[in-house]
Structure 1
């Protein structure tokens, strides 16, 4: 996917050099020990209200102040976060992590006999009993190509393939096409970066010789004034790149990202699944994983959890959305594409262990074991569990481009307790809809804050980030808030409340997200999602009160 959920890169400042038309910056900035490091306008903006604060947040603060001051929540809502891992000891999640009270911590026994040993706070599906964990994975199309190429690589036409195998052959062709496109793109990027680095090194050498130190700053370069033409050219080039968004640190991160993509995500020979030693195509092969819910990469699940459940009003860090909530930690999303089997088992674990809401900030373009996930989400729906899923960050139309998992089952039926979420920014206008966000008039239900979001980072730190990965927990948090006060609602009724209570701007237009093949264009918000609106906790609580009273009157 163009902008994966796993803190990869988003396109921003222009860098017109050596064929590199845009220079990307990381979707998560380097973590800091305090939110004081951020512009105050970004901290907790998702809690603000479009009417009172003139910021396109969710009205959470207004709801607490005007609607919930004299009310007590009726139920603690458990939100299962299926993600990369969570720092459950973060200072802003204290007391908010789910505890399996039927399990005795650290005794090496499966006390509750649910198939998972010492699963006190959840489970990690990306490791083994010896404590070894997977961080990096290939993309699904790479795994498909590795499996199917020996079967179909010498086929010249679909007519040569038996009818029963033709769907698989088409999958092979699509995975091969995607692989070759991504491989060529990242190989070209690597070559471009190498050429750019050569120029950068030459410029740095010239400046270092003039300044008589290699540890110079931008401010040092700005002060240079000399008749030496070469030094002034180097100065102009260096400052020009800096003004376009380049720092040496960001460049090195981009290089590392590109190398990782080629060496891990696109490497046909890379197969870390051997650590787990299971068969990912057999759903009954469940004897794997461990109780390490943080794992080697808690950098994604931690901010997701913070938006849902970060402690409010403690003058520390951020304010999460829901108060009477607990986070169940399920680690199933590597840096690369998740396996369908891991997701299916994580969903079933969440349902069987009491989760009310499942947050799913991940996605991919291929789903070879979709039937596993279909059965799991059907099971979740049957147990009155709400599923909240990120629409994706490829700036694509989900009505036209496959994006998994999906509420649409193999037989065409749809899960009624599923919400698909796109991302928005703080202010009205052309950039209201995030330029990276997926959309879809039939497939994306609503939008929520997902640009310039400040949330938690591992190790009691904080960071600013973008992505539908973060608009999704905003919706999960609002859902948990509403459900904690109105547990009489079913999951599908809660979804209906959230969708019917969105803030809409019938006359407002925005620029559509921009993909690799389609430029941004002016569109109506109603053309980008089912509701054409943005989640709002204040409105949702008002409607929930009305709906519950109507239910009581009928009973």
Structure 2
């Protein structure tokens, strides 16, 4: 969901009107409404968790059934005009394929032979697409055959049929991940040299009990902080004692560079800190907050109100009262109904409301907040390596691992298992590295250590779907990227979602080293949509003729969420794992290819539509080829063909 109005989105979410996500791909969220099964006089209609089946003969209804979903099972609840008894019970198993564009119904039990054949048990049923609607599996389709900007993954697998593959370890540097998800548990990396739970470093790699990866944000007691400082607050807290009273003329060259970074960060930090002052005022005195709220309820007693009316209500002249009034005006939306109903809802959910409103003022922008205290490391020491926890979920709940779980699913969710989705690569092992907090920004030392861990423990591809604007310890990240190149590891990085020219803005981690040379083993990916036309690049994607290597599908991508759920998300965070998946596919089926060769293949095999597009972040029209180094879209089929030619394996 793209949210620009706080009142219309954030507050609705936090006060209980949450976005629904898919658990076991429930029928209520299916796109099969109104579908007709090709070659059969059968019509399907989907309502909530039921599917209504109507069979026609000569235009007349001869049979009507209602099935209801219970988990993965369809139960016949109602039947009419059937040769079978209407009280007979039938049960069928529902299996999803091609990211829910195709389903298979398998009979569990049904005494009615006629009904048993109605949905052609065991045969794939494919949805007929509605106009202007992207298929759920659009990212895997073929531009020429299907007229959507997919990566031709199904055609790639046709080329690979019968060929052997070897497992490839993929490091996913992200937030937590649900390694017990039904679609991920079979593809999670398991450290073969580690004995789980004995609190010993069995393989002598410096990390005890690292069975599936490592969490560099974790504490020894197994907990993980949810929010870190944002980048400018990190730098401000880190260096204020060192540089606030320093004489820049007496600093050595390395310190001068840090001093300059600190001055930029301090300026931004102070601006953000001051901007949050009204919210801190409004929510710092709970007694006064409710006094002012009650005043407003008396003045705005009608069945509805407006933000303007709230903002113009008389509450006195003291700064706290004015701050409370303005905050309630900012967060009110007409869909809440009356002001009284809105205020009562805020009172009912006040802890959530307060946390949502203060947000960064309490954590990410609060210099007194100490997120790393439980971790036990020294944030000022970027060379420190052995800290953290083997537990991979962030915070109190697996829900906070949403981002990492979604990314992991795109790369390698178990294919062809009749559940949820199919990942891009079919023979990967996901190694999870925790370095990206739920709120705030990742720390350079965690990123560098995550890269090093992945490299030293066998990863061949690393996915990094995150980024920031400042990097106080860039030299440590550079050294880790150099190590990855030396060890033949490809790093895939998302370009970011600011709708900006990546060539001209600071963005980290960066493929450009401090000395100006470029890392050859880093692939930077922009976000494309399903339409081959002016809207091909996502409006929010960063782009760059010198720094973005290619575009890949990242809009409305269905993937895994914690607790066996599924949902569609958008962003370059989804584009990068799509490219990571194809890179892993090549390294799995063509293990002799080097990381640099895989990058070369991905760049040279892109699909290059000759279209004029809307430049992200503006209304300007430009050739799509001008937005990246390759000028094209990721294409798995052409990449496999090129790999076959390069290796002589035809």
The reply to whether TM is greater than 0.5 is: yes
Change in CA separation of 1:159 and 1:144 when aligned onto 2, cut-off 3 Å: closer
Give the match for residue 424 of structure 1: 528
Higher RCO (C-alpha 8 Å, min separation 6):
1
Q: Indicate yes or no: 2:52 matched with 1:52.
A: no
CA contact (8 A) 1:186 1:258 kept: no
Question: Aligned equivalents of 2:297 and 2:403: distance in 1?
Answer: 33
Question: Aligned equivalents of 2:631 and 2:299: distance in 1?
Answer: 50
CA contact (8 A) 2:543 2:627 kept: yes
Decide which of 159, 178, 188 is 1:67's aligned counterpart: 159
Q: Aligned pairs, how many?
A: 496
User: What are the superposed Cα offsets for residues 230-285 of structure 1, whole Å, 9 maximum, x if unpaired?
Assistant: xxxxxxx83699xxxxxx99x99898544222211111211211111211333443
Structure 1 gap segments, 5+ residues each: 1-8, 210-236, 242-247
Change in CA separation of 1:298 and 1:203 when aligned onto 2, cut-off 3 Å: farther
Question: Aligned equivalents of 1:22 and 1:498: distance in 2?
Answer: 41
Question: Aligned equivalents of 1:537 and 1:203: distance in 2?
Answer: 63
Give the match for residue 512 of structure 1: 615
Structure 2 gap segments, 5+ residues each: 32-100, 102-133, 284-288, 306-332, 338-344
CA drift at 1:168 = 2.8
CA drift at 1:466 = 1.2
CA contact (8 A) 1:161 1:169 kept: no
* 1:344-359 pair list within 5 angstroms: 344-359=448-463
Q: Indicate yes or no: 2:187 matched with 1:83.
A: no
Decide which of 128, 148, 153 is 2:239's aligned counterpart: 148
CA drift at 1:10 = 3.3
Change in CA separation of 1:348 and 1:151 when aligned onto 2, cut-off 3 Å: closer
User: What are the superposed Cα offsets for residues 167-214 of structure 1, whole Å, 9 maximum, x if unpaired?
Assistant: 3332123212332454466668999999xx9999899974499xxxxx
Give the match for residue 175 of structure 1: 265
User: What are the superposed Cα offsets for residues 351-373 of structure 1, whole Å, 9 maximum, x if unpaired?
Assistant: 11111101111111111111111
Give the match for residue 82 of structure 2: none
Question: Aligned equivalents of 1:503 and 1:199: distance in 2?
Answer: 62
Q: Indicate yes or no: 2:420 matched with 1:330.
A: no
Give the match for residue 504 of structure 2: 400
Question: Aligned equivalents of 2:282 and 2:527: distance in 1?
Answer: 31
Which is higher, the Rg of structure 1 or of structure 2? 2
Question: Aligned equivalents of 1:520 and 1:203: distance in 2?
Answer: 45
Q: Indicate yes or no: 2:581 matched with 1:488.
A: no
Give the match for residue 533 of structure 1: 632
Give the match for residue 446 of structure 1: 550
Change in CA separation of 1:47 and 1:410 when aligned onto 2, cut-off 3 Å: same
Question: Aligned equivalents of 1:422 and 1:201: distance in 2?
Answer: 48
CA contact (8 A) 1:29 1:465 kept: no
Question: Aligned equivalents of 2:380 and 2:601: distance in 1?
Answer: 38
Q: Indicate yes or no: 2:528 matched with 1:435.
A: no
CA contact (8 A) 2:304 2:334 kept: no
User: What are the superposed Cα offsets for residues 502-554 of structure 1, whole Å, 9 maximum, x if unpaired?
Assistant: 11123x1222222xxxx4422222222111211010111011111112xx99x
Change in CA separation of 1:129 and 1:238 when aligned onto 2, cut-off 3 Å: closer
Question: Aligned equivalents of 1:203 and 1:529: distance in 2?
Answer: 57
CA contact (8 A) 1:449 1:471 kept: yes
Question: Aligned equivalents of 2:498 and 2:295: distance in 1?
Answer: 31
**Alpha carbon RMSD of aligned pairs, Å?**
3.5
Question: Aligned equivalents of 1:55 and 1:407: distance in 2?
Answer: 30
Give the match for residue 106 of structure 2: none
Change in CA separation of 1:543 and 1:142 when aligned onto 2, cut-off 3 Å: same
Decide which of 117, 124, 132 is 2:223's aligned counterpart: 132
CA drift at 1:395 = 1.8
Secondary structure of residue in 1 paired with 2:426: coil
Deviates more, 1:99-108 or 1:284-293: 284-293
Give the match for residue 521 of structure 1: 620
CA drift at 1:149 = 3.6
CA drift at 1:313 = 2.0
CA contact (8 A) 2:172 2:432 kept: yes
Q: Indicate yes or no: 2:210 matched with 1:107.
A: no
Change in CA separation of 1:171 and 1:283 when aligned onto 2, cut-off 3 Å: closer
CA drift at 1:398 = 1.6
CA contact (8 A) 2:392 2:432 kept: yes
Question: Aligned equivalents of 2:276 and 2:141: distance in 1?
Answer: 40
CA drift at 1:431 = 2.4
Q: Indicate yes or no: 2:376 matched with 1:277.
A: yes
TM-score by length of 2: 0.69
CA drift at 1:345 = 1.1
Question: Aligned equivalents of 2:556 and 2:296: distance in 1?
Answer: 30
Secondary structure of residue in 2 paired with 1:533: coil
Change in CA separation of 1:271 and 1:77 when aligned onto 2, cut-off 3 Å: same
Change in CA separation of 1:240 and 1:98 when aligned onto 2, cut-off 3 Å: closer
Question: Aligned equivalents of 2:150 and 2:533: distance in 1?
Answer: 14
User: What are the superposed Cα offsets for residues 465-509 of structure 1, whole Å, 9 maximum, x if unpaired?
Assistant: 111111110000011112211112110000000000111123x12
Give the match for residue 226 of structure 1: none
Decide which of 319, 327, 334 is 1:238's aligned counterpart: 334
